[in-house]
Amino acid sequence: MKLTQKDIEFLEKLHGLLQLKGLRIEKRPGRPSYFVLRGNYGERIDRCFDMTRQGVRWRFHHVFTNIYVAAYETIFVIERRFGTSLRNEAMAISRERVLLRRRFMGGQMGEETSRPDDKNED
């Protein structure tokens, strides 16, 4: 599953609120665990995202569980069968795609926290 333009815009706005308004993302225990958005975000969310609180919850769950966590599940399954030898090449390919997408979109995409030429691969 890929991020849509709406997902990217949501992440940009959420990042700003996390920095300014004391919101935080936490892991909620359970079977399976999942991410939740914590903090008092009632009216701020309505104004910032122009959607209901339920809409924000849905988009948050969609991005952080259906896309983000699922991406790591996919990586886990592939690396379990084929090892981690392809990881660096896969990261290089993904960086190339981000750069191409950014150029294609004319700089409309949000700036990632790490530049594609960074060598820091945690």
Nearest CA to 9 among 73, 43, 56?
56
Q: Model's pTM, two decimal places? A: 0.73
- End-to-end Cα, the chain, rounded Å: 23
User: At residue 31, what is the residue type?
Assistant: R
pLDDT digits (tens, 9 = 90+) for 49-89: 888 888 988 999 999 999 999 999 999 999 999 999 999 99
Q: What one-character-per-residue DSSP string does 20-39 give? A: HS--EEEEEPSSS-EEEEES
**Residue with more model confidence, 116 or 72:** 72
CB 25 within 8 A of CB 37: yes
